[in-house]
Amino acid sequence: MSLAEKMTENMKAAMKAKDSATLSTLRLLISALKNKKIDVQHELSETEVMDVVKSQVKQLKDSIESFKTGGREDLAQSAQVEVTALEQYLPTQMSDEELAQVVQEAVEKSGATSRADMGKVMGVAMAAVSGRADGSRVKEIVGTLLSAFVPVVVGLGLFTLDAHAAVPLIDNFTTGTSYFEFMLRIVRVLVLWMGVVAITLILSGGFQYMKASNNDNEHEIALAKIVKGLFSTLAVGGIFAFCTIYLERLY
């Protein structure tokens, strides 16, 4: 059964159950689909149907924000019911943590080094999320990572190690460098990757805190992530500094 057919069946079920809220929402959605079909002059693909649903959800979410700003919580709650009814036709949305991880991988895969590379990262990230996160969420995280994550990582030397650290490890080991030094160099690189995870944890906690509204429990969880990320970052910095200083003393 296609998405459009499922919507029609659900509308009939809502009519029988006298579920006026769901019925009204689905009628508007099906009407929007008919208008889209007239515009494109062909039967809608599943992707096009989902695009219409996403558009409807976005409009409703924008309305919710406006209602809340205007102090109309009753209208905001009503619009939220409609959002819930529509989201069942979309893929399960990624959590902030999952999305941050996907975007981080997109940054690394695309080789981005600044906000100028946002378009390149967005292309990779949007393909990876496959509709499980809307573009505004992806764009927000991409922008934050390119502003904070990439410069930090580059500064630490993850992508551009200094000449001394870039000496081939295997080559050094086979020419007589001690096994301990060899392992220390590997540890230093691995620690940098731990730093990536720590920074991602901080960013994830920050996003969760901003989205938590007045939910104290969510705030506590978000703050715990941020604190854990900060301590992890300090630990990474300490271990990296120790490894670097020790290696410097060998020469």
Residues 176, 242, single domain; the answer is yes
Residue 244: how many CA atoms within 13 Å on its side-chain side? 17
Residues 143, 174, single domain; the answer is no
Nearest to 228 by CA among 251, 196, 205: 205
Residues 112, 128, single domain; the answer is yes
Residues 175, 190, single domain; the answer is yes
CATH of the domain at 131: 1.10.10.410
Residue 29 sits in which domain range? 3-87
Residue 17's pLDDT band, with cuts at 50, 70 and 90, is very high
Could you tell me the two tokens for 155?
């500064």
Q: Is 225 helix (H, G, I), strand (E, B) or coil?
A: helix
- Asked whether the whole model's pTM tops 0.75, one would answer no
Residues 180, 231, single domain; the answer is yes
Residues 74, 101, single domain; the answer is no
- Which residue has better confidence, 230 or 201? 230
Res 212: pLDDT: 63
The string of pLDDT tens digits covering residues 33-44 is: 999 999 989 998
Give CA–CA dist 193/98, Å, rounded. 17
Residue pair 52/36 in contact (Cβ under 8 Å)? The answer is yes
The string of pLDDT tens digits covering residues 30-89 is: 999 999 999 989 998 888 888 898 888 888 988 998 998 888 998 999 899 898 888 888
Give CA–CA dist 155/150, Å, rounded. 8
Nearest to 157 by CA among 38, 58, 247, 69: 247
Nearest to 86 by CA among 55, 127, 45: 55
Whether residue 144 is predicted with pLDDT greater than 60 in this model: the reply is yes
Could you tell me the two tokens for 34?
């008919």
Q: How many structural domains does the chain have?
A: 3
Residues 177, 251, single domain; the answer is yes
Residues 179, 251, single domain; the answer is yes
Residue labelled with tokens 């996160």: 133
